[in-house]
Amino acid sequence: MDFTQKTVLITGAASGIGKGTAQAFLDRGANIAIVDINEDGLKTFLNENAAHSDRLLALRTDVTKSTEVNQTVTQVIKKWGRIDILVNSAGIYKQAMLVDMTDEFWDQTQKVNMYGTFYFCRAVAREMIKRKNGRIINLASIAGQRGSVANSHYTTTKRGVEGFSRSIALELAPYNITVNCIAPGIIMTPIFDEKILQERGETWLKSIPLGRFGQPEDIAKAIMFLASEYAAYITGITLDVNGGMYLR
């Protein structure tokens, strides 16, 4: 797939799935706006790809603040004139049992995972509507489909992202804008710390028919498919990328 002259905005691009996706699009010719609150991670990505600095724009952004989101979108439009593809990959994941969960912990998870997706979709859709074209890919999760212990806060946001995406897919379809979700399974990113892997890694691996954990590149390939012309007639779906761990 070739994305030359396409402009892609990716949130959560300093690490994990977001970083892997940014690298994949960059390698295929796209202009990339990498967005994250982790400024050091953004600088690292820029340093690793200094040869392509003309096609990169790094913007430190707190996705929970709509004013910052709007400013970021404006900066991308100012540099490249448009946004062809939006990938909402920003998210946080920390476990907590219901009875131990604080209001602040619950709220922060909602704000990053759900509000951040909403803010960027709203801001970018306004620009895409003007051009009557665009691709939006939001990151859901296997957790939003099946639930798991100590993850009620996270599960709620990821299920919410799916419902939100289906609804706006209907709203934006008349403007030739597609909206789809990717639901990753167990992907080896910094979100999983060593303690979690020691406790659950073996059990998780046994539950994956393909016999391995996913890598960010696996998700990036699925995202690129949904962003490509091959998926021009696909909207409102959730594409499961989990190695067969959960079938529906």
Domain ranges of the chain: 7-241
pLDDT given for residue 168 in this prediction? 99
Summarised one tens digit per residue, pLDDT across range 155-170 is 999 999 999 999 999 9
Q: Which of 115, 154, 175, 233 is catalytic?
A: 154
Summarised one tens digit per residue, pLDDT across range 92-135 is 998 899 999 999 999 999 999 999 999 999 999 999 999 999 99
pLDDT given for residue 194 in this prediction? 65
Fold that domain 7-241 belongs to in CATH: Rossmann fold (3.40.50)
Residue 11 has pLDDT above 90, yes or no: yes
Render the chain in DSSP notation, one character per residue.
---TT-EEEEESTTSHHHHHHHHHHHHTT-EEEEEES-HHHHHHHHHHTGGGGGGEEEEE--TT-HHHHHHHHHHHHHHHS---EEEE---------GGG--HHHHHHHHIIIIIHHHHHHHHHHHHHHHHT-EEEEEE--THHHH--TT-HHHHHHHHHHHHHHHHHHHHHGGGTEEEEEEEE-SB-STTS-HHHHHHHHHHHHHT-TTSS-B-HHHHHHHHHHHHSGGGTT--S-EEEESTTSS--
Q: How far is CA 34 from CA 25, 64, 76, 156, 197, in A?
A: 11, 16, 10, 26, 28
pTM of the model: 0.96
Summarised one tens digit per residue, pLDDT across range 196-213 is 777 778 888 999 999 999
Residue 195 has pLDDT above 70, yes or no: no
pLDDT given for residue 193 in this prediction? 60
Kindly indicate the confidence band of residue 14, based on its pLDDT and cuts at 50, 70 and 90. very high
In the residue annotation, 175 being an active-site residue is answered as no
Kindly indicate the confidence band of residue 175, based on its pLDDT and cuts at 50, 70 and 90. very high
